[in-house]
């Protein structure tokens, strides 16, 4: 911006040979060759901005490292099968829910993980409330079946 003002002032002062195509005389207005490594190095050395040095040598000690990974992740045990009738009796599911689930051949709570919510609601014709009740008792069954 500074050089542009000098150029504009030279044009306004009617300095001979200075116009929009020709800048005023001076080193500031000489064309630069960016491929000249020596000139780029000189410009870099003449830079007035200080160098910033970042030392990260002790950073690793400050960052918490994850613990050792287990060799084999243990899968939770699959709960024992429970017939649908016994499941509905044990967890007090309504007879209407038992009828809808048995109509689509659901054998017990161990099979619910293979069905989507849409399948349970559309195929078994469960209402939203019945669907919620089924999910609730399946969670209780899983907790009751978990090893202590």
pLDDT in tens, the chain (148 residues): 677 888 888 899 998 888 988 888 877 777 665 666 777 677 666 666 677 788 888 888 888 888 887 777 666 677 888 999 999 999 999 999 999 999 999 999 988 888 898 988 899 999 999 999 999 999 999 888 877 6
Q: What is the pLDDT of residue 27?
A: 72
Residue 88 and residue 97 in contact, taking contact as beta carbons nearer than 8 Å: yes
Residue 134 contacts residue 93 (beta carbons within 8 Å)? yes
Is residue 50 included in any domain, yes or no? no
Is 102 among the domain residues? yes
Q: Exposed, middle or buried, 72 (CB in 10 Å: 0-12/13-18/19+)?
A: exposed
pTM for the structure as a whole: 0.48
> Is 82 within 8 Å of 100 (Cβ atoms)?
no
What integer pLDDT is reported at residue 32 of this predicted model? 64
- What's the pLDDT tens digit per position in 18-56? 898 888 887 777 766 566 677 767 766 666 667 778 888
Distances in Å between the Cα of 145 and the Cα atoms of 2, 68, 73, 90 are: 80, 30, 20, 13
**Does residue 67 lie in a domain region?**
no
Which range marks the domain in which residue 108 is found?
84-145
Distance CA 129, CA 142 (A): 20
What local confidence, expressed as pLDDT, does residue 20 receive? Answer: 86
How long a stretch of residues is the chain?
Answer: 148
- Asked if residues 94 and 143 have their Cβ atoms less than 8 Å apart, the reply is no
Is 68 among the domain residues?
A: no
| DSSP secondary structure code for residue 91 in this structure | T
Answer whether residue 118 is part of any domain: yes
As for how many domains the chain has, the answer is 2
Angle, to 10 degrees, between the axis of helix 128-145 and the axis of helix 95-103? 90
Q: Is residue 43 part of a domain?
A: no
Is 65 contained in some domain?
no
User: Residue 16, Cβ neighbours under 10 Å: how many?
Assistant: 6
End-to-end CA distance of the chain: 76
Q: Has residue 141 been placed in a domain?
A: yes
């Amino acid at each position: 911006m500074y050089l542009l003002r000098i150029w504009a002032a030279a044009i306004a002062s009617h300095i001979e040979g200075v116009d929009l195509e020709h800048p005023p005389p001076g080193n500031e207005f000489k064309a630069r060759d960016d491929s000249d490594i020596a000139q780029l190095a000189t410009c870099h050395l003449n830079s007035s901005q200080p160098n910033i040095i970042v030392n990260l040598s002790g950073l690793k000690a400050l960052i918490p490292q994850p613990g050792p990974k287990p060799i084999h992740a243990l899968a939770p045990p699959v709960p024992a099968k429970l017939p649908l009738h016994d499941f509905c009796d044990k967890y007090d599911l309504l007879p209407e829910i038992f009828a809808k689930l048995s109509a689509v051949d659901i054998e017990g709570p161990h099979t619910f993980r293979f069905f989507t919510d849409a399948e349970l609601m559309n195929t078994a014709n469960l209402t939203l409330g019945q669907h919620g009740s089924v999910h609730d008792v399946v969670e209780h069954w899983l907790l009751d079946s978990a090893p202590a």
